[in-house]
Amino acid sequence: MNFDKLIQSEKNTVLGYVVLDGHSIGYLFRWFDVLGFTVLASKITLGGQDQRNSPKMLFAWDMTRVKKATQKDFDFFRVSSKRYL
């Protein structure tokens, strides 16, 4: 995912649904001059983020830690993709 392109988006707009480090699924949004990541669900046993510690700031160097969420990811985290994909 291209950080520079995403950071040009309108503030407080959902930019996409992603998986962070393979342990948390959530959505990206522009948060001032950084990206925010809000957790929808995570696997604590894999080092996942607690939803209460959300949102988390992501910087350009963090973009290597995220991948676009797929239907398989939504199934793995037991989140309905009905509203998201």
Say if strands 66-68 and 56-58 run parallel, antiparallel, or are unpaired.
unpaired
Regarding predicted confidence, which is higher, 59 or 25? 25
The pLDDT tens digits for 27-85 are 888 877 778 888 889 888 787 877 777 778 887 788 888 899 999 999 999 999 887 76
Q: What's the CA angle centered on 14, arms 3 and 79, to 5 degrees? A: 110
- List the Cα angle 35/13/79 in 5-degree steps: 85
- pTM: predicted TM-score of the whole model, two decimal places: 0.80
Domain boundaries, the chain: 3-76
Helix H or strand E segment including 76: helix 71-76
pLDDT at 11 (0 to 100): 67
SS3 content of the chain, % helix, strand, coil (to 5): 25, 35, 40
